[in-house]
Amino acid sequence: MLGYIAELDINQKLLSVKLLAINKSEHIAQIKNADNYFEVFTKSYQNQPIIIKGKGAGPVVTARGVYSDVLRLV
């Protein structure tokens, strides 16, 4: 399966977003709809990241936010 993956490297101050092939056995492949999924790698959790997964804003809330931003610009 394909999915957009964002990666933030705070040491190098670098943010990238890529379309990547995701193995169906990976945790990130299990997200549905507007779920959010984060893997946090630290010095203490290099090999097994902290995983944060939960409901995202969804299309209606996102559309309201974009509409609000457009109105502020006008």
| pLDDT tens string 7-31 | 999 889 999 999 999 999 998 888 8
State the pLDDT at residue 20: 95
State the pLDDT at residue 5: 92
The answer to whether 52 and 37 have CB atoms below 8 angstroms apart is yes
Continuous segment of H or E residues that includes residue 61: helix 58-73
What is the pTM (predicted TM-score) of this model? 0.62
The answer to whether 1 and 21 have CB atoms below 8 angstroms apart is yes
pLDDT tens per residue, range 36-63: 899 998 888 888 899 999 888 888 888 8
Please, which residues bridge with residue 8 across strands?
A: 15
- When comparing pLDDT for 71 and 45, which is higher? 71
